[in-house]
Amino acid sequence: MQGFDKNTPRESFGSQIGVIAAAAGSAVGLGNIWRFPYVAGENGGGAFLLTYLAFVLLIGVPAMLSEFVVGRKAQRNPVGAFRRLAPGSAWPAVGFIGVAAAFTILAFYTTVAGWTLEYLYLTIFDKLDHLQKKDLENTFTTFVASGWRPVMWQVVFMLLTGFIVFKGVKNGIERSTKIMMPLLLLIIIALGIRSLTLPGAAEGLKFLFRPDFSKINAGVMLQALGQAFFSLSIGMGTLITYGSYIRKSENLGKTAISVSLADTAIAILAGLAIFPAVFAFKITPEAGPSLVFITLPMIFDQMAGGVIFELVFFILLAIAALTSTISVLEVAVAYFGEELAMGRKKATILSTVAITVLGIFTTLSMGPMPELSIAGLSLFDLLDKTSANVLLPLGGLCIVLFVGWKLRPEEVVSEINNAGTLKARLAPLFMFIVKFLAPVAIALVFLNGLGLFGFFGGGDL
């Protein structure tokens, strides 16, 4: 197995499909299947969707391409990339933001991912059958507060993530995502078809695809911009890391567009799977985060063949979470491997153990150890808000500023057009966006996350 030894060739993805599968797997996660439907529900359905799509195209794709440019040009992890491209400057601090984001995100993300394994277990053993809403709420709160079961599932999920990353870029990450991403797509399509066959499903389609433009306001726009930004994994170092594994012959622009389309398609398919069912059973679409673990089990229980579709749904959630966690763990592994001169095996073990320990305390802060809190926030909420509201937008902002203003335009264009071998007609538009539009948009996400735009009705992203 190739590691990070300077005497061995650097690992890379083996194919264009592998690149897209891995990068799309990083982008596609619980944010698409869990967060997108309820955020869309809270912000007007179709109006939110149109706004979201516009921001993905206008800001998301250029920001993603910026990270790919930095990663492939430098052929290093986030810290090493800025150190190589801007030696003797403060820019490597941006890479450290990405590594810090990887630790904080995985600590709480694997907690939630562990919940999907618990609900997969509960479904297999018929523990959710015929429960009323109050019973489902009690099941969820009791589980989260119990301590040892959430910790067990969090550790299991982290070990599974570590096992895949341990096997390397081509044999671990690429091979697994090339299997999981098509499987995820098939599952969500099957769920969508079943949801569309329910009586009253048409109302859900209207809600999702018939925009009420009166719903679009500053708050909705900020929510859509934030969802587009976070859904595409921008600012957390994964796209720089994955970019460093993309071969020089691959088309970066096409890859960024393909990954963004795949990510958006999964989010829309999640809406198709959820909203028709929500309306068919007369559930409010503004159910919020409880939609997945409380509302949907209640819907599945009332649906013919619901147990099967409930099982399939939680398998879908687990796969989506896993494709994301392996990409985030790779950020830490690449950092330790390259900056501390470790082999892949040692770097993976160190990263997995360190993040698992932090994750255990994060999980316990939701239950038997509420004293694990700072400034009135549990460790879980603190890491969630710090990464979402500070580290990711700050990292993303710095990356587009670096590409737009620090790197020479000819260097950027050369990376996009593969040293002149590809046509890059949109390169001037890309440079304009990363110089001017993207920094302003991401700064708005950052300021909104800090609560400075509360008067717009945006709230937390």
Q: Residue 228: is its pLDDT beyond 90?
A: no
What is the mean pLDDT of the segment spanning 212-228? 86
If you write DSSP's letter for every residue of 218-285 in order, what string do you get? HHHHHHHHHHHHHHTTTTSSHHHHHHTTS-TTS-HHHHHHHHHHHHHHHHHHHHHHHHHHHHHTT--T
Model confidence at 1, pLDDT cuts 50, 70, 90, reads very low
Residue 132 has pLDDT above 80, yes or no: yes
Region 271-287 average pLDDT: 82
Token pair, residue 111, equals 């907690």
The residue-averaged pLDDT of 99-126 equals 95
List, for residues 174-192, the tens digit of each pLDDT value: 999 999 999 999 999 999 9
The lowest-confidence range among 83-92, 110-119, 447-456 is 447-456
With DSSP H G I counted as helix, E B as strand and the rest as coil, what are the percentages for the chain, rounded to 5? 75, 0, 25
The answer, yes or no, to whether residue 380 has pLDDT greater than 80, is yes
- pLDDT tens across 30-75, in order? 878 877 887 888 888 898 999 999 999 999 999 999 999 999 999 9
Reported as a pLDDT band with limits 50, 70 and 90, residue 455 is very low
The rounded percent of the chain whose pLDDT value lies above 70 is 95
Let me know the angle formed at the C-alpha of 168 by 155 and 243, rounded to the nearest 5 degrees: 105
Going by C-alpha positions, the residue among 440, 446, 432 that lies closest to residue 66 is 432
**What pLDDT score does 286 carry?**
62
In this predicted structure, what is the pLDDT of residue 454?
A: 54
Q: What is the pLDDT, as a whole number, of residue 367? A: 87
| Per-residue pLDDT at 35 | 77
Which residues lie below 8 Å from residue 279, measured CB to CB, with a gap of 6+?
200, 201, 203, 204, 207, 285
Confidence of residue 147 (pLDDT cuts 50, 70, 90): confident
**Higher local confidence (pLDDT), 429 or 220:** 429
The rounded mean pLDDT for the chain is 91
229-263 confidence digits (pLDDT tens): 888 989 999 999 999 999 999 999 999 999 999 99
Position 456 pLDDT exceeds 60: no
pLDDT of residue 143: 95
- pLDDT for 91 beyond 80: yes
Q: Is 423 left (phi over 0), alpha (psi -120 to 50) or beta?
A: beta
Domain extents for the chain? 16-456
Taking domain 16-456, whether its CATH number is 1.10.1660 is answered by no
More confident residue, 239 or 130: 239
Provide the pLDDT for residue 32: 82
| Span 377-388, average pLDDT | 92
User: In this predicted model, what pLDDT tens digit does every residue of 389-426 receive, in sequence order?
Assistant: 899 999 999 999 999 999 999 999 999 999 999 998 99
Average of pLDDT values for 443-451?
A: 87
Q: What is the pLDDT of residues 12-27, one digit of tens each?
A: 999 999 999 999 999 8
Round to whole Å and give the CA distance between 14 and 246: 9
DSSP 11: P
Is 441 a residue whose pLDDT tops 90? yes
Average pLDDT on 141-151 reads 93
pLDDT of residue 5: 66
Q: What's the CA gap between 32 and 24, in Å, rounded?
A: 11
Share of the chain above pLDDT 90, in %: 70
CA 212, 215, 216, 222 torsion: positive or negative?
negative
Residue 99: both structure tokens together? 């590594």
- What average pLDDT does the segment 116-121 reach? 96
Read off the pLDDT band of 7 (50, 70, 90): low
